[in-house]
Amino acid sequence: MSAEKSTSKKIHWVPLESSPEALSKVMHRVGVPASVAFSDVWGLDEELLAMVAQPVYALVFLFPSTDDYVAKRRKQAECSDNKVSPNVWFMRQTIGNACGTMAMLHALGNNQSTIPIVGDLASFFEKVKDMTPAERAAELEINQAVAEAHKEGAADGQTEAPVADIPVEHHYVAFVSVDGDLYELDGTHESPINLGPSTNLLKLTIMAPLRLGSVAPNFSAETTSGPIDFHEFIGDSWAVLFSHPADFTPVCTTELGEVAKLEPQFSKRNVKVIGLSTNDLADHSKWVDDINEVNNVNLAFPIIADKDREVATLYDMLDSVEHDASNVVNGIPFTVRSVFVIDPAKKIRLILTYPASCGRNFDEILRAIDSLQLSDRQPIATPANWQPGEDVIVHVSVPTDKAKEIFPEVKEALPYLRFATLPADEQVQNN
């Protein structure tokens, strides 16, 4: 796919103000929702990083436009072992002083599946999706909507009134995570720079928000049962990943004891359970002794030692000062009570989030798993307060005549609400 020929004369845009507000204004003008915005990172200590809103889709840095810096970055980009995933969205920069908008495009271009982009920018991304980086650059040169948005953004709130061809001392560069690797995206380079494996950048998660149907992010971790690769741990089973604010805490002690009692019920459903707490293995080992003694159990499932909060950050489990200041100590947040139910395809099927003060109902989690697994086998949904063995709701996609062929009995309460008795082989309950 080719673009129209680039103009022969070098194009310059007015440089954007070095502020997140300037980038956000450009972005919002071309079709990005107001809920997505650039914000400042004021420092790299834990307390300041914890103030950054989650999730973080990308980071944009300002680098000095010195000859030494430019030469160094280009040399790294040209390294023979600089392997780049084909899923990285990248374009060249041929417009002078357009680095701010270029960084914005790189940040958004690599998050098209997670950020609801509409309007002019959605049209631009659709038009250039099969183009080369150079062809995308040529297309940007003739794209009036993006150029106008940049111009308006540059005109808003500038401390000075720069002209288009003014030399600038700093350069915007975007950083994104794609297929588990961190990439530096600078359109003045021939290609992206692969900075190596990364699930986070400066302890800020670079990820899409986890939704139902998302692939559960993989990770390696130390647990009370030894080191694991999470996806290998799941294997062909279902899994429940559930977090706890800290070891030696009262509510968590009762919860883990309850799960230990219910583990045979999870096993009957082909479900592996795995806990997480933000302490180290030594603490976990001592805490398990307390759990076993108080609850009269023998806890055998693994508990992840997530002292550095890498998994908690990956799964967006951390609490905030705004919600519960008692669950944030010295600026370091502990986890809330998160639950992720994951199927054998490694897809997230259920997400629950409880505050630290509220213990979870694990019978309800078992009930929800029964519903999920049943709806995978039969074209049904389950009504309010449903329990295994009770009547279900015929899925809206199934005509009533067809439903009567599938189920022993179908009762039509409303044209869109039809109850059905399950076949005999589905009447057997797991408990």
Catalytic residues, by residue number, are 252
Of the candidates 35, 42, 55, 12, the residue with the CA atom closest to the CA atom of residue 116: 35
Distance CA 348, CA 273 (A): 14
The structure tokens listed for 311 are 């998994």
Nearest to 340, CA basis, from 272, 287, 246: 272
| 8 A C-beta contact, residue 330 and residue 47 | yes
Nearest-angstrom CA–CA distance, 22 and 17: 6
- Are the C-beta atoms of residues 45 and 65 closer than 8 Å to each other? no
Q: For residues 260 and 303, give the distance between their C-alpha atoms in angstroms, rounded to a whole number.
A: 12
What lies within 8 Å, CB to CB, of 131 at 6+ separation is: 1, 2, 3, 139
Question: Whole-angstrom Cα distance, residue 250 to residue 230?
Answer: 27
**Measured over all CA atoms, what is the biggest interatomic distance in the chain, rounded to whole angstroms?**
79
Cβ–Cβ < 8 Å for 380, 420: yes
Side chain identity, residue 180:
G
> Which residue bears the tokens 């003694």?
293
In the chain the first and final C-alpha atoms are separated, in Å, by: 59
Show the tokens assigned to 356.
Answer: 């630290």
Contact (Cβ atoms closer than 8 angstroms) between residue 204 and residue 52: yes
Instruction: Scan for tokens 């082909």, then name that residue.
Output: 270
Encoded tokens for 85:
């995933």
Tally of residues, the chain: 431
Residues 146, 154: Cα–Cα separation, whole Å = 12
Q: How many angstroms separate the CA atoms of 316 and 243, rounded?
A: 11
Pairing of strands 303-305, 271-277: parallel
What residues have CB less than 8 Å from 377, skipping those under 6 apart? 426
CB atoms within 10 A of CB 269: 16
